[in-house]
Structure 1
């Protein structure tokens, strides 16, 4: 089995230089880095993880806590971005299970027992006991879609508010005036930002806010069905619906069609997320795009920067959103909007 000394000899560099390349130090030229990597590949050298940890003081492992079902398409896209960022980083990923509703359970002890260098958290609100403990612990942490921060904790999210604003304006420009909103979970950071964007869009379009046109949901397919069923019972049903997620939009379309109506002929529908299925759905879904893959990549890049340097300021990153127009929206057929 090849040793680090063999790699150094093959590449014509010092053992210290090989160590720097393996541990991703920046003060190595691209030319030298390439020579070392070629030697590693040629000799099939594999660093000793335990020895590497003793030298660097790191476990070279980051944890990811995702507190929503892995069947959600958003999760798959987020994890793919995380995987992409980790491929050449030298870090391994550990999926964390956490009994967040167990008062006797300590998430911090869970992280320390696995000697994690850092954590990415998605789907847990910042006022949860375990999240507050994590912030106070000093473990480098990146929160996804949760506006929590700390001395060693940053966050990344999409411009949710402007995204829903754009959706409402799109429908207004198509002639719609009775625009309903299927909201996300009340009190949820993302849900509240998107709800605010709905009101912004109405105000910018001089459309009065109507409480009857706002139905709470939980971002799920079933909540889309249930919410749209309520809206269809109104005396003056909406001509368009903005949804807080693509999954709930799929449920909304199902409900509309189950009641003998068409999308977008009778009611236009806009989703939020632009998951893979949005383009494949029939009708193809008009939606607000958030670059979920990029969020996964960026969350890991920023986390590793915090791990490498205690002076690296915890980032607060907002990724832009954009409108993707497809088949589920059309000009309002109701002449009075």
Structure 2
């Protein structure tokens, strides 16, 4: 059981003094005699009380902090590390610092860290929500006038700003590319089915299959954790099918790296024996062997854009929700088997509806 936080009232009761006397001691006031001051300080040490002077100063001055909260669902995925770097580039130049926290897909942990960040007086929050997050979780922040920008995973009904990539168009372009290389059985590997991103990317996959004149097969959609280990698991199931696929579009680059690992474990070479396409274009994608064909969403760019949106609302003094869908592009490299005929950074731009308008 979590130990209850010691309060000023607890100190006052234990020391046998008033709450205002404890407050005066904390402020270093000369109105308190040394005997009482020593007694109160001794009780605070005994009970383990820690005075949050910064928060107290903010309350007294009615000022805003220079702290931005950043909460992500999986910091082990380098996508989110790159996103955090993008956020930091913008907030640092604006004189803010970011408090970064990882939820590991736990809603309870997410609520804890958001509550803690509020106690520290954050000026705004950038969050990639944990799975199955309820839009109602962010209503208290909206009610308190704290700007919130949701990134990567949309959160319908939350009435907060959001920035997401064009998942459907990106996945559709990946499928069409593989179909153009002659693949007839293309799998969709990885991702949790209870997220909006999974739904959007799966919809893009189905549209791509249809546009290529191929049949949609339910058994070729294999969900798993959106991680490297999840990719290993998913390709294992795909290879075990009676009619195995010859190519796969992956939920993200982490899954794609795992798929490559799983193929090699079965003495199959990515790009030669089986075509692999990722989604995100993290830094490691270009340096991988073989270099990973992937849908580039520019994670640092999303971080920068999200931070700019948040600072705009902070500076305006009001949280007006806006929605941004960023364009993506297919970057063709070696893992799809077309690297010898396509430039390493050549890509097909896929504009979002918003950009087109």
Which of 111, 121, 142 does residue 115 from structure 1 map onto? 121
Q: Deviations over 1:79-118 (max 9, x none)?
A: 1101111122121222346795549x66664233111111
Equivalent residue in structure 1 for 2:91, among 83, 86, 90: 86
Cα–Cα, structure 1 residues 311 and 139, in superposed 2: closer, same or farther, change >3 Å?
closer
How has the CA–CA distance of structure 1 residues 202 and 315 changed in structure 2, closer, same or farther, with 3 Å as cutoff?
same
Q: Is the 8 A contact 1:184 1:192 kept in 2?
A: no
Partner of 1:267: 274
**Residue 63 of structure 2 is aligned to residue 57 of structure 1:** yes
Which of 189, 201, 206 is matched with 1:182 structurally? 189
Aligned ranges for residues 192-231 of structure 1 at < 5 Å?
A: 192-231=199-238
Q: Distance in 2 between matches of 1:245 and 1:90?
A: 33
What's the TM-score once normalised by structure 2's chain length?
A: 0.72
1:58–1:135: structure 2 CA closer, same or farther, 3 Å change rule? closer
**RMSD of the alignment, in Å?**
2.8
| Counterparts in 2 of 1:81 and 1:325: CA distance versus 1, 3 Å | same
Determine which structure has more spread, i.e. the larger CA radius of gyration: 2
CA change 1:102–1:52 in 2 (3 A) is closer
CA deviations over 1:126-165 (Å, ceiling 9, x no partner): 4266345444543200111122367872011111111110
Contact 1:135 1:150 in 2 (8 A): no
Supply the distance in 2 between the matched residues of 1:133 and 1:55 (Cα, whole angstroms): 22
Deviates more, 1:123-132 or 1:187-196: 123-132
Q: Which structure 1 segments of 5+ residues have no match?
A: 1-47, 332-337
**Whole-angstrom CA distance in 2 between matches of 1:97 and 1:77:** 14
Seen in structure 2, the aligned counterparts of structure 1 residues 81 and 248 have a Cα distance that, compared at 3 Å, is same
Question: Is contact 2:125-2:146 (8 Å) kept?
Answer: yes
Q: TM-score, normalised by structure 1?
A: 0.76
Aligned pair in 2 of structure 1 residues 149, 213: CA closer, same or farther (>3 Å)?
Answer: closer
Q: In the aligned structure 2, how far is the partner of 1:67 from the partner of 1:98? A: 5
Distance verdict in 2 for CA 1:108–1:277, change over 3 Å: closer
Where 1:242 maps in the other structure, the secondary structure is strand
Q: Which residue of 2 aligns with 1:66?
A: 72
Provide structure 2 residue ranges, at least 5 long, that are not aligned to the other structure.
Answer: 1-53, 339-357
Please name the residue that 1:235 is paired with: 242
Aligned to 1:325: 332
Q: For the structure 1 residues 90 and 49, does the alpha-carbon distance in structure 2 shift closer, same or farther, using more than 3 Å as the test? A: farther
Q: How many residues align?
A: 282
Specify whether residues 113 and 215 from structure 1 end up closer, same or farther in structure 2 by C-alpha distance, changes over 3 A only.
same
Relative distance call for 1:222 and 1:128 in structure 2 (3 A) is farther
Task: Give, in angstroms, the shift of residue 313 of structure 1.
Answer: 3.0
